[in-house]
Every structure is written in C-alpha cells, then in structure tokens.
C-alpha cells in the first residue's frame, strides 16, 4: 500500500490529522507531497503488533496529474527520478516518478486559490511493475496571500 501525505515546507510541519490531513497554504508557498510504501501485513499478534509482513520490491513508480495553473512542480528528493510532461491542449501536466526507496518527497508551489480542498491525483502506482493499492486521503487548500503594507527606510543624499 502506498500512502500520500501533504506537508508544508514553509512551516516544516507534517499533516497528521485523524482520517485525512488538511494542509492550508498561501499562494506562493512551497509544499511537499510525501509518498510512503508500506508492507503487506501477513500476520498480527492478538495485541495488534505486526508479526509478519512483506515489503513490495522496488522500483516504486507513480504518476501525478495536476493543474499547472494551480500548482507548479519545483523539484524532488535526490532519490526520485522524474519525467515532467505538459499535456497538449490542456492546463494539466503529468509528473512520472520512480524511486528505489520506500519514502520520498516531491515539491510544489501553490500558484492560485482553490475553490475547495483538493487531492493530489495519483495514478499508475506500481512496485516492481506490480499494481499497488493507494491511500490518498490528504487534501490541500490554497488561500490568497494577504495584502500587506511594506515600510521601507531610505537614505537621503544632500546636494
């Protein structure tokens, strides 16, 4: 099973809400989507402790499809190979990712306000070519960056 988590980079805070997490960022903020491959549990003790599990074999591959007018791909962890492609005739992009490590992050920037919380669509999830179940319960909400009054102190040169 592969879990997807949304994390704010500017706040350096992991979303850990019961059920799905909700991350709210301002336009212009950077955030990360963290993927974690979890093992298949094959046996539990009566107290719920995992006795036996099997980790899916790498490489792990997945694809994000996103509205590039809403978010911008920035970078990924060093252990992630990415292929970015703009989908012709649309505002959407595809980001195909592959990694040999069970946990990795891909970084994005919020470009415009969302009308409601959104998920990070993911598809084509595999481990060593075999399909992997996806849990994608976190949501992202992008709010306007607040208007501010900037105060500057300037030096004046006398003539």
Q: Is 57 helix (H, G, I), strand (E, B) or coil?
A: coil
Domain boundaries of the chain, sorted by first residue: 2-143
- What pLDDT score was predicted for residue 29? 94
Measured CA to CA in angstroms, residue 109 lies from 13, 33, 60, 79 at distances of: 16, 11, 24, 20
CA distances, 94 to each of 63, 84, 129 (Å): 7, 6, 19
Each residue of 62-114: pLDDT tens digit?
A: 999 999 999 999 999 999 999 999 999 999 999 999 999 999 999 999 999 99
**CATH class of the domain whose range is 2-143:** mainly beta
Q: Which DSSP state fits 6?
A: E
C-alpha span between 69 and 71 (Å, rounded): 6
Q: What is the pTM of this model?
A: 0.80
In tens, the pLDDT along 110-158 reads 999 999 999 888 888 899 999 888 888 888 999 999 999 999 999 998 8
DSSP character for 83?
A: E
Residue given tokens 């607040």 in the structure block: 146
The DSSP code sequence of 90-141 is SSEEEEEEEESSSEEEEEEEE-S--SS-B---EEEEEETTEE--EE---EEE
Please, what is the end-to-end C-alpha distance for the chain in angstroms?
72
């Amino acid at each position: 099973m592969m879990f997807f988590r949304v994390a704010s980079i500017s706040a350096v805070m992991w979303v850990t809400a019961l059920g799905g997490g909700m991350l709210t960022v301002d336009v212009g903020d950077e955030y990360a989507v963290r993927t974690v491959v979890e093992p298949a549990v094959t046996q539990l003790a009566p107290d719920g402790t995992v006795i036996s599990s099997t980790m899916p074999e790498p490489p792990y591959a997945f694809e994000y499809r996103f509205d590039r007018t809403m978010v911008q791909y920035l970078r990924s962890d060093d252990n992630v190979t990415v292929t970015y492609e703009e989908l012709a005739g649309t505002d959407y992009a595809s980001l195909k990712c592959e990694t040999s490590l069970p946990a990795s992050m891909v970084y994005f920037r919020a470009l415009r306000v969302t009308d409601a919380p959104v998920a990070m669509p993911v598809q084509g999830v595999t481990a060593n070519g075999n399909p992997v179940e996806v849990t994608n319960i976190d949501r992202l909400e992008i709010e306007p960056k607040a208007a501010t009054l900037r105060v500057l102190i300037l030096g004046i040169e006398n003539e």
